[in-house]
Amino acid sequence: TRWNVYVTNEIPKPALDKLEEYCDIEVNRTGLVLERSVLLEKVKGRDAVLSLLTDPIDAEVMDAAKGVKIFANYAVGYNNIDIPSATERGIMVSNTPGVLTDTTAEMAWALLFSVARRVVESDKYSRMGKYTGWGPMLFLGQDVMNKTVGVIGAGRIGLSFAKRAKAFDMKVLYTDVAANPQFEQETGGQFVSLDTLLKESDFVSIHTPLLPETHHLLGEKEFKLMKNTAILINTSRGPVVDESALVKALQSGEIWGAGLDVYEFEPEFTEGLLELDNAIVCPHIASATIDTRTKMGMIAVSNIIAAMKGELPPTCLNPEVFQK
């Protein structure tokens, strides 16, 4: 029988079309993040829910969602879902790994270059009518080539990001809970402690998941260790950085700049952040390419369809639920 599926926001059409071949679907087409009360109401009586990273799927939502067999999260990150609670209730959870790895890594580089070469700030200057002619001191930035880049988190995205450093003849340092031989082989990167990475890097790019252990991994103490010329890039999760400490570090010149795609209190920005010329503040778009967002949709949908057919969803995060 066809499943009844709720989709918490509009995703690319090919994915919705595919889902509709197999299931009856309702999609939140407001374009807005679902309010909690609406989410609690809409999950009722469904067989599956395609959720977003902006939907907190906790025990209360799961209890409201009696009958739901799978939450298919449209993201690689799944810190918005309480997996132990899902497992306890026999509910499967899936994410969309792999397809957004290189896309996210490219965005980290886009931010790195944009901050280093002051692309956004200087574009604004031109639009404000301030450009009166070539200036020897106009918007001096930082070179990227031959510098040291520090990668925090040597997972798929960190690896993809680091591989690209070769093209700019950079030295790669990395840190993680353990050394990663594949990472070293493919990037020539050197495993160091977080403190060493922060002291020696010209660019620091964060690629860790958000976990209790990575919450506020970077704060006041860490910014003090960094060079005054250093640039921080974050395309992972906002709460990995103590954002008010970051604002202070950018205001005082403790570090030189930051390229951000994620925020501690998303979609809010910490006071002072938006006034800073040395920060670029993108609205969580690192996986936002037409190709990648379509592929993410197809993976999320394929997890739901597999579950419906009684098969193991291909990117299930708690397969022990299926085995039962």
Q: How far is the CB of 302 from ligand GLV (least distance, A)?
A: 16
Using CA atoms, how far residue 144 sits from 50, 107, 288, in Å, is 40, 16, 25
Burial of 38 per CB tally in 10 Å (0-12, 13-18, 19+): middle
Q: How many CB atoms lie within 10 A of CB 130?
A: 10
Say how far apart CA 290 and CA 191 lie, in whole Å.
35
Find the catalytic residue in 237, 243, 254, 293.
237
Q: How far is the CB of 250 from ligand GLV (least distance, A)?
A: 23
Q: How far is the CB of 234 from ligand GLV (least distance, A)?
A: 11
CA nearest 62: which of 80, 85, 45, 78?
Answer: 85
Near ligand GLV by CB under 6 A: residue from 25, 53, 61, 301: 53
CB under 6 A: which stretch of 71-79, 110-118, 186-194, 213-221 binds ligand GLV?
71-79
Q: What share of the chain is helix, strand, coil (3-state, %, to 5)?
A: 40, 15, 45
313 makes contact with ligand GLV (CB under 6 A)? no
Exposure of 228 in the CB half-sphere (CA atoms within 13 A)? 4
Say how far apart CA 15 and CA 248 lie, in whole Å.
43
206 makes contact with ligand GLV (CB under 6 A)? no
97 makes contact with ligand GLV (CB under 6 A)? yes
Q: How far is the CB of 37 from ligand GLV (least distance, A)?
A: 25
287 makes contact with ligand GLV (CB under 6 A)? yes
Residues 151-170 that bind ligand GLV (CB under 6 A): 155-158
Residue whose beta carbon is closest to ligand GLV? 155
76 makes contact with ligand GLV (CB under 6 A)? yes
State the residues that interact with ligand GLV by CB under 6 A: 53, 75-77, 97, 100-101, 155-158, 207, 287
Q: Give the residue numbers marked as catalytic.
A: 237, 266, 284
